[in-house]
Amino acid sequence: MTEAYIVDAVRTPIGKKKGGLSGVHPADLGAHVIKAVVERTGIDPGDVDDVVFGCVDAIGGQAGNIARTAWLAAGYPQHVPGVTVDRQCGSSQQALHFGAQAILSNTADLIIAGGVQNMSQIPISSAMTAGQQYGFDTPFGGSKGWTERYGSDEVSQFKGAEMIAEKWDISREELEQWALQSHERAKAAIAAGRFDNETVPLGDATVDEGPRETSLEKMASLQPLVEGGRITAAVASQISDGASAVLLASDEAVKKYNLKPRARIHHLSARGDDPIYMLTAPIPATQHALEKAGLTIDDIDLIEINEAFAPVVLAWIKEIGADPAKVNVNGGAIALGHPLGATGTKLMSTLLNELERIGGRYGLLTICEGGGTANVTIIERL
């Protein structure tokens, strides 16, 4: 049976808004992690079959197939193609899935999968707002089929997060406690050097810039996004800049190029849920993945679930029955940031390194995505 292996995984430090990576062109951000993974593994870049990158809001410096542009900006051979994926917040996780699927289908042997996002230069939802000059106020308004099915109510991650907190009866205090824990875990991980093996500094960005000193008292003083609501900026992911990449290889490539894989792709899948709630899909996606993989949540040693908003994680824990001590053990996007298109393989690099550190076997990654979808990847440490 053909296997797909992760040979290595790297990421930039995650820059905060207007921080150390804000002035770096997206192509150069992507090129930086591509070069890092090539140099660390010792592969001949000419042997790469494809470069699959995630990116959201592909306009300006992120337009024109950023996967291809980043590869060429790295100075590597022109015969290697590239393709850009948009599955919203899970774009680079989907890039990893597409790369692994190419290997599992015996149509490729070496794939670089990853993602890039400079949210300082290209603000979130820029692609949507750019459409306003053409008469599209939202991607959905004007669609007869969409309106007949979902009406004309607001479709946003903020509304979805608020609805999740209400449906699962998660208090503002619980949300803020999780957010505070995210910062504390992230700061502890940085101090202990847990991210050192996965991060490749770039310019002034030498360490993750997001974690900050905060407290429950400070969080409680913030105004909610809607009057009487539970969601504040303190329990949401940060606007960030960054890039990440993994090298995927087949059995044949591992032998041919004398590579040492660090993990095996055990399972990959995606599922959808209500697009108005938007952020709940990790729940059915995880249930589906565990069933297909023949595992239970107790078999999973570590979990990375993207902290788009704290209620996403807490509702998922309630429904899946996961041990919170296994979830985002080094902090999450509330503290470390969420560079949209890069987050999937960024979290995979963290999951892989931490799995090795604790000697665990299985790690699970899931991300909620715009449109109400979610990817799940289960890896087995080698």
Active site residues: 89, 338, 368
DSSP H helices, the chain, are 26-41, 66-73, 91-104, 126-130, 144-150, 157-167, 172-191, 216-220, 251-256, 282-293, 310-320, 333-336, 343-358
Q: Which of the 8 DSSP states describes residue 303?
A: E
Q: Is 137 exposed, middle or buried (0-12, 13-18, 19+ CB in 10 A)?
A: exposed
Written as six digits, the tokens of 344 are 């999937």
Residue among 26, 7, 316, 338 at smallest CA distance from 186: 338
Core vs surface per residue 199-212: b (16+ CB within 10 A) or e: bbebeebeebbbbe
For β-strands 110-118 and 50-54, DSSP reports them as: parallel
For β-strands 302-305 and 362-369, DSSP reports them as: parallel
Measured in Å, how far apart are the chain's first and last C-alpha atoms?
A: 17
Q: Which of the 8 DSSP states describes residue 380?
A: E
